[in-house]
Amino acid sequence: MQRARRARIILGVDAYRAWAQIDLDALSHNLARIAARTGPAVRTMLVVKADAYGHGAVAIAHHAQLCGVRAFGVGDSSEALALRESGVRSRILVLGTIVEEEASAALRHGIEIALHSSDRRRFLQELARRQGRMARVHLKIDTGLGRLGVLPHKALELLEEIASSSHLELAGVMTHIAAPNGALDSYTHEQLASFDSVLAQARERGLLRGVIHAANSACVFTAAPLYDCVRPGISAYGVLPGALPGAAELEPVMSLHSQVVFLKDIPQGAAVGYGSTWIAARPTRIATIPCGYNDGVAWRLSNVGEVLVRGARARIVGRVSMDYTCIDVGDIPGVSVGDRVTLVGAQGAERITLEELAAKAGTIPYELSCSVGKRVERLYVGGEPASERDWLTPAPAREPRTDSVTPPRASPSHPSAAPLSPTGHGP
């Protein structure tokens, strides 16, 4: 089972080469802001695929249950089963597709499955019949993303097939919005018009069952139709790409840190990094941090990215390598081995955001948070009161440093929500 770690205290030494601090109080805040926008009649299915966008799906899901979330969206069945194994009993929907070898375990554990085709309908019907159970499915209609889902003109036929299947239960009908700016893009309205047309016809024929869901983070914050349920992902973690309205309401959940492990004074003309892409224009001091593109420092930040050291910005110099990154600290007084380096987050008055890094790297914030590697420790702060539940285990501690930002707020572990029937609660 995946384990989450809590921040504790150790004398004067940061205990990890690299760590991501995950603020559960910020997650609570963001979920509350989402709920305020959707209203009490619309339920939330929190998207925790890709290890909750790099934040740690098990810990995020357990805390989200304490915040009232009763359904989760994942990318594949392995992610769903990991949540079940950790004790998550809320509804879990595989938003994408599953391979046939995964389906049996998914049905046994009450995982709901997106349905895209008649072939997959026949397969799930037969598998569920052999297991003697009902398979809960969500029909996915491709209204314009072009990736997965039945086309609108074939959706009614597939709904009729589901209705006539003895071991399938229609738990929902869904679509996937293509535009990254939600309702601010006319294409979103075209997609939803197509979706609404299918829903209306299905309702007339008595084929509509379960929850209706389409809205992602961008749709929630741009006043798109919300239907019965919304599927926020990146906004729950404190990011709204493209400066969408409401971005200022959110708090970043993740910050990413490392520490200086080596310092070297170099002369003018000295080269740094693979390919000698950076040459010192003056004598300076180079600090090496044990954090590279395997840990979430995008290779495209080579020679353009910045980090924070002692509350000041320092430029990444040379190419980011797999395990290490070099930074120019020649203009920052007093830098020492062991100093904290913040790659995402705040030190003093300075802050580096995922959005800033994504712009410099020519990518999107999603990619950066998802790329935070497995060897980066996740340290969880904030959250609910202490409990004997062991889904969170204590972590080696860290001590505040006079040269760094306020250290993680030590907070004991908290329980998961009381066990829930996988099919008995929202969304």
Rounded distance, CA 388 to CA 416, Å? 11
Residue 6 has pLDDT above 70, yes or no: no
Rounded distance, CA 267 to CA 299, Å? 25
Q: Are strands 306-309 and 340-347 parallel, antiparallel or unpaired?
A: antiparallel
Predicted local distance difference test score (pLDDT) of residue 101: 86
pLDDT tens, position by position, 177-231: 999 999 999 999 999 999 999 999 999 999 999 999 999 999 999 999 999 999 9
Rounded distance, CA 5 to CA 409, Å? 13
| Given the residues 16, 49, 227, 237, the one annotated as active site | 49
pLDDT tens, position by position, 327-346: 999 999 999 999 999 999 99
Local confidence band at 383 (pLDDT 50, 70, 90 cut-offs): confident
pLDDT tens, position by position, 231-289: 999 999 999 977 799 999 999 999 999 999 999 999 999 999 999 999 999 999 999 99
What CA–CA distances, in Å, run from 293 to 64, 104, 351, 371, 418?
29, 36, 21, 8, 39
Predicted local distance difference test score (pLDDT) of residue 419: 31
Nearest to 68 by CA among 27, 21, 37: 27
Looking from the CA of 312 toward its CB, the CA atoms found within 13 Å total 14
Predicted local distance difference test score (pLDDT) of residue 384: 65
What CA–CA distances, in Å, run from 168 to 78, 136, 159?
22, 6, 11
Residue 418 has pLDDT above 80, yes or no: no
| Given the residues 140, 227, 274, 293, the one annotated as active site | 274
For residue 427, say if its preceding peptide bond is cis, omega within 30 degrees of 0. yes
Question: What six digits make up the tokens of 406?
Answer: 């306020």
Nearest to 369 by CA among 47, 2, 5: 47
Average pLDDT over all residues of the chain: 88
pLDDT tens, position by position, 76-111: 999 999 999 999 999 999 999 888 888 999 999 999
Predicted local distance difference test score (pLDDT) of residue 14: 61
Neighbours of 53 (CB within 10 A): 26
Q: Are strands 135-140 and 168-174 parallel, antiparallel or unpaired?
A: parallel
Residue 416 has pLDDT above 50, yes or no: no
Contact 336, 276 (CB under 8 A): no
What CA–CA distances, in Å, run from 222 to 189, 216, 225, 243, 355?
12, 10, 9, 11, 19
| Domains (range + CATH), the chain | 1-23+252-427 (2.40.37.10), 24-236 (3.20.20.10)
Question: What six digits make up the tokens of 127?
Answer: 């598998």
Looking from the CA of 13 toward its CB, the CA atoms found within 13 Å total 7
Is 16 a known active-site residue?
A: no
DSSP string, 234-302: GGGGT--GGG-TTGGG----EEEEEE--EEEEE-TT-EESGGG-EE-SS-EEEEEES--TTTT--GGGT
Local confidence band at 395 (pLDDT 50, 70, 90 cut-offs): very low
Is 274 a known active-site residue?
A: yes
Longest CA span, the chain: 78
